[in-house]
Structure 1
Amino acid sequence: MAAFLVLIPPGARKGDEKARIVRDRFSWLALFLPVIWLLWHRAWLAAALAFAVQALGSAVADHPVFGLAGLGLCLATSLLVALEGPSMVVAGLERRGWTVDAVISADDRATAEDIYDTETPAGEAQTRESVSLPASETSRRQHAPMLGLVGFKEGR
């Protein structure tokens, strides 16, 4: 099963027809053609950065001493885009005002669309409240940021 993120455009209501579904998984095409994959998904800045890093890696790969480092840089860039590419697309949409409406686990995109259409009644506007963790309700103690969780205010 794969996870599908459903994003709705700014100002749209839950269950909007313009919702965009992004599959959050490893992409083989992005592994072999990272720059083209990023351009296809309109991640312009990420595509330019990936192109620059891979061009640098190709230039370094010609050097007799640092050849493996250049190859590793190209491979690392491809692997990063293959693993984090869908997250880059979602982050780009969120910067433009889109919001994540649902996360659906399904075998394929058609099933995810069916689940989203059946679980969201059309025309009904719903607002989401902030998520409150059980630990925040029981403890009044303020927790300091720890282990990279900068700004984690809900507690443990």
Structure 2
Amino acid sequence: MATFLVLIPPGAAAHDEKARFLRDRFSWIALLLPVLWLLWHRAFAAALLALAVQGLGLAIIGHAGLGAAGAALLLATGLIVALEGPSMVAAGLGYRGWTQDAVIVAEDRATAEEIYYTETAGTPERVEPSLTASDAGRRHGPMLGLVGFGEGR
């Protein structure tokens, strides 16, 4: 089973036919080619940041005794993009006015679309953003599977 984030364009109603389905999963291509993966998904700011970090990693590899640190930096960049790439794409769309309409668990995209568009009275599981005082300065939700600590530790 896969989890799909359903995002709708600015000003669109729920179940709009222009909804975008993002599969929230690990991507091997993003692990191997993080900058290209981000560019393909139009996450330009994240791609620029990944390019800078990978450039730093490549520069560090060239120095004697720091090769392992540079390789670790390259691997870490790929892992972060592979694990959190869909969240980065969703955050980028959110900055452009898109809203997350639903989260659907389905076998594949076709099934997720069928579930999303055939719901009548009830809608798919809604994700209502809640902004607490501790989240006021944060622009996005927690990443890397970490939970927020708004209620204390």
Could you tell me which residue of structure 2 aligns to residue 17 of structure 1?
Answer: 17
| Consecutive unaligned residues in structure 2, runs of 5 or more | 135-146
Cα distance in 2 for residues equivalent to 1:83 and 1:131:
22
State the one-letter code of the partner of 1:95: Y
Could you tell me which residue of structure 1 aligns to residue 103 of structure 2?
Answer: 103
TM-score, normalised relative to structure 1: 0.79
> In the TM superposition, what are the counterparts of 1:1-150 in structure 2 within 5 Å?
1-120=1-120, 149-150=149-150
C-alpha spacing 1:56/1:129, structure 2 compared with 1 (3 Å): closer
Measure how far apart 1:149 and its partner are.
2.4
C-alpha spacing 1:53/1:120, structure 2 compared with 1 (3 Å): farther
Contact in 1 for aligned 2:4/2:104 (Cα 8 Å): yes
Runs of 4 or more above 2 Å deviation = 128-132, 147-150
C-alpha spacing 1:120/1:28, structure 2 compared with 1 (3 Å): farther
C-alpha spacing 1:120/1:64, structure 2 compared with 1 (3 Å): farther
Cα distance in 1 for residues equivalent to 2:149 and 2:22:
26
TM-score, normalised relative to structure 2: 0.80
Cα distance in 2 for residues equivalent to 1:93 and 1:115:
22
Contact in 2 for aligned 1:35/1:47 (Cα 8 Å): yes
Question: Per-residue CA shift, 1:50-108, capped at 9, x if unaligned?
Answer: 01110110110111211100000000000000000000000011111111111000111
Q: Over aligned residue pairs, what C-alpha RMSD do you find?
A: 2.6
C-alpha spacing 1:131/1:84, structure 2 compared with 1 (3 Å): closer
Rg larger in structure: 1
Measure how far apart 1:119 and its partner are.
1.1
Corresponding residue pairs, total: 135
C-alpha spacing 1:97/1:72, structure 2 compared with 1 (3 Å): same
Question: What SS does structure 2 have at the residue aligned with 1:42?
Answer: coil
C-alpha spacing 1:120/1:7, structure 2 compared with 1 (3 Å): farther
Cα distance in 1 for residues equivalent to 2:128 and 2:53:
39
Contact in 1 for aligned 2:4/2:106 (Cα 8 Å): yes
| Consecutive unaligned residues in structure 1, runs of 5 or more | 122-127, 133-143
Contact in 1 for aligned 2:7/2:101 (Cα 8 Å): yes
Calculate percent identity across the aligned residue pairs.
67
